[in-house]
A = this chain, B = another copy of it.
Amino acid sequence: MRIAILGTGVVGQELGRKLAQSGHQVMIGSRTADNPKAADFVARAGSNASQGTFADATAFGEVVFNCTSGAVSLDALRLAGAENFADKILIDVSNPLDFSKGMPPTLTICNTNSLGEQIQKELPRAKVVKTLNTLNTNLMTNPAALPGDHVIFVSGNDQDAKAQVTKWLGDWFGWQPRNIIDLGDITTARGTEMALALWIRLMVALGTPIFNYNIVTATDSTEKNREHTDT
Residues of A within 8 A of B (CB): 106-107, 110-112, 145-150, 153, 181-184, 188, 190-192, 194-195, 197-202, 204-206, 208, 210-218, 220-222, 225-226, 228-229
- The quantity of this chain's copies bound in the complex is 2
Q: Which of B106, B146, B195 contacts A197 (CB 8 A)?
A: B195
The answer to whether A211 touches B222 (Cβ under 8 A) is no
Q: Could you tell me the distance between the alpha carbons of A153 and B228 in the complex, rounded to whole angstroms?
A: 25
Residue ID in chain B nearest A226 by CB atoms: B229
- For A153, the chain B residues whose CB sits under 8 A away are 198
Asked if residues A147 and B194 are in contact (CB atoms below 8 Å), the reply is no
Q: Which of B197, B200, B213 contacts A214 (CB 8 A)?
A: B213
Cα(A212)–Cα(B217), bound, Å: 7
A194 vs B191: C-alpha distance when bound (angstroms): 8
Given A194-B195, A205-B181, A229-B222, A217:B107 Cβ within 8 A:
no
How many Å lie between the Cα of A147 and that of B33 in the bound state? 52
B184 near A225 (CB under 8 angstroms)?
A: no
Q: Are the C-beta atoms of B148 and A220 separated by less than 8 Å?
A: yes
Kindly list chain B residues whose C-beta atoms are within 8 Å of the C-beta of A225.
Answer: 147-148, 225, 228-229
For A188, the chain B residues whose CB sits under 8 A away are: 201, 205
Listed by A's residue number, 8 A-B pairs whose Cβ atoms lie within 8 Å are A111-B111, A147-B221, A181-B206, A182-B205, A188-B205, A191-B197, A194-B198, A212-B216
